Structure 1
């Protein structure tokens, strides 16, 4: 199926619209026009051919950090990587990778709507209505330049069907809790802990049925797109995950709740946490020696209408004897917020450097910020606004590494939670224990191993 046909169906189907083991390698001579390398990986020697990968992202800046981290790891192992993303992300990528952008698919807030209060409408606007446009753009890019495999974010269903139709290896990257429900676990957006009692299991089962029904409302039109591409129909939207060679969960297994089982193509590969390019320079605003505790207030990179929440957090911090640095991120303007004397508000700062100076992290609960805090042995106060934040908050709370408040919490409630996190050492102890396990996952570079294993199997089966 050509890109021209995909363009013609776009409106009709969905509407309008520290240790780096993979650096250790010996290069061999070129054979049969391809450069072969002997790679030391997971204590085994294997022959790996360099491949050309297309990495595909969408929407907010927060999605780019794990994707680019993964790209750097593959490039470090001799592979070629180019990135397809929102045009606003070109400055973050810079000249590091070849960059292409969308021609038909939505960009900016059209790609990632700010208002997610109606989850069904958000799914329609962000994922399923533009699926044909994403498919056409990716198929055209695959035809334009040689491509051996595609790595894309897990919610890009339109990209997934285009790659499947092209017969290329597909890797779905999930830099968050699994969107597809895993056996024995609640939906990612429920905020529930792992069920232990019969009543809890019944509650989770009801939520899973409800979520499946919502996703399957889009199945008829999605199957029309698959049919046009020459692909068989699915019985369930979730079946699209099964069509990928790998679904790579870029979180630590030690952070997640333990599932009863994993689908055969699912793998935990650990967090992908390079420092984002938009992060500004860091100069500590407080004296080198000071007895007052310090906090980092990290606003989400995505636009989620969090201005009022951040103001209430600031007002709560004003009631506590601490110093705080707050990062507004790319979605808030500093001038729109009122800061007390003990809060320094900046647009951005490298969180890893700041976290070495603080005692606690206050955040909406995106996976990147949560994981960075735990890697730095810091307890968290999480006030989730939606998406995967509620699921991350549930895991932090269950593992004793922090506290959770609703996004409607008052300044008094915020102040009380901060005081508890600072005064009770059990939170620090739990964060340190979890952080140790996460760090062990990060240095293993499982992402590269999983991708290269699939590529080797594909090559051997030809």
Structure 2
């Protein structure tokens, strides 16, 4: 008998997550929102997320066969992209060790969880191909949650990775086509591994790796359409739900400025909660701002809190601080360009100086530059250049005006948590109606 779903009923939801740093808060925010709505939520993820998942209202299941991080130290990281300066090598490590390589193991763990109890919907990760495969094998409605912009370029967007601006000229379009082909080939280097996992479960092979995400009925982007590049049209399975900003559980340290320096502009410096080999960049930022008439607060994270940085009188270094209180008083943010940090900066109306170091950061920085809400520098920039960039965003009113306008527009789109819940409930209801029609 086919079960009919009413959005007012409690849904049984399985969420698949993994410990990748910036993707964790959006995943937990989604879990919290669905649990607060009254749905029964299970989260299968790394043991690092256990306490946070339970606090958010979910029942927790650990990965058994798939990679499982016991803690958030950089020693336990599987990808370890800080060990190479080659962004392609970092991408390949991610594919080999998390995204595609262990697809069979991730799928087996998820299928075991699906068999253990009822499930109306599987919410997978846009980077865990095993979660997509499990949904396809189990024939359960599957939505993919992207913690930021789309990994797969939307119509009219440049390819993900290099941080290009949208194409305007024929040369730009030729550039995009060439790089897109290179990116597809980089993914397809792992096609034999993915197809081996598919063969294990008795499903047909794919021609390209990027076909696997299409098995999911919804792709939910936890970013703002106003922050993203304009798109020619939005594919029917893609939805913007807005930023999902959840403060990490370890970010509890407060900051109190020195009264004698209270009149100085405040600059927040934040370079990820995971290790990307950013000690040198952080030190150059501190050196560039040393002696400037600004108050500097540097926040680290669980993987960086043991860094030994040479400071100066106008710099405070906090191992595990929350950002909202600092950003409420800040005049500029200097960052690697993680999506969560950027969204919080826009929410608080603070212009940015971005030094992207890989992953999604080049593409986030490209959007900041596109909207004119900050400056993008090479991470190798000298301290003098870093200082000059901070001076510009602090002194030129256009940056502040544009960031305030963009922040208001994003806020007007509505809270991401509520929009995500609405999308999930709508998707489950439509899936049930479609199954009834096909019966």
Q: Give TM-score, length-normalised by structure 1.
A: 0.87
Instruction: Determine if the alignment matches structure 1 residue 84 to structure 2 residue 44.
Output: yes
Instruction: Determine if the alignment matches structure 1 residue 411 to structure 2 residue 378.
Output: no
Cα distance, 1:314–1:437 mapped onto 2, change above 3 Å: same
Out of 240, 243, 248, which is 2:215 matched to?
243
Matched residues, number: 420
Alignment of 1:52-201 (within 5 A): 52-96=12-56, 97-108=58-69, 109-115=76-82, 117=86, 118=89, 119-201=91-173
Instruction: Determine if the alignment matches structure 1 residue 301 to structure 2 residue 273.
Output: yes
Alignment of 1:194-233 (within 5 A): 194-233=166-205
In the TM superposition, residue 317 of structure 1 has moved relative to its aligned partner by 1.4
Out of 234, 239, 263, which is 1:267 matched to?
239
Out of 356, 363, 375, which is 2:328 matched to?
356
Consecutive unaligned residues of structure 1, counting only runs of 5 or more, are 1-33, 37-45
In the TM superposition, residue 311 of structure 1 has moved relative to its aligned partner by 0.9
Alignment of 1:298-337 (within 5 A): 298-337=270-309
Instruction: Determine if the alignment matches structure 1 residue 367 to structure 2 residue 334.
Output: no
Mean CA deviation greater in 212-221 or 398-407: 212-221
In the TM superposition, residue 160 of structure 1 has moved relative to its aligned partner by 1.1
1:272–1:442 CA contact under 8 A, matched in 2: no
Which residue of the partner structure matches residue 72 of structure 2? none
In the TM superposition, residue 225 of structure 1 has moved relative to its aligned partner by 1.6
Out of 430, 434, 437, which is 1:457 matched to?
430
Q: In 2, Cα distance between the equivalents of 1:192 and 1:149?
A: 35
**What SS does structure 1 have at the residue aligned with 2:424?**
helix
Q: In 2, Cα distance between the equivalents of 1:272 and 1:442?
A: 11
2:31–2:53 CA contact under 8 A, matched in 1: no
1:56–1:153 CA contact under 8 A, matched in 2: yes
**What SS does structure 2 have at the residue aligned with 1:186?**
coil
In the TM superposition, residue 148 of structure 1 has moved relative to its aligned partner by 2.1
1:314–1:339 CA contact under 8 A, matched in 2: yes
Which residue of the partner structure matches residue 420 of structure 2? 447
1:177–1:188 CA contact under 8 A, matched in 2: no
In the TM superposition, residue 249 of structure 1 has moved relative to its aligned partner by 0.7
**What SS does structure 2 have at the residue aligned with 1:238?**
helix
Q: Which deviations, in whole Å up to 9, do the C-alpha atoms of 1:21-65 show, x marking residues without a partner?
A: xxxxxxxxxxxxx999xxxxxxxxx75221111111112332111
How much is the aligned-residue C-alpha RMSD, in angstroms?
Answer: 2.0
Instruction: Determine if the alignment matches structure 1 residue 48 to structure 2 residue 8.
Output: yes
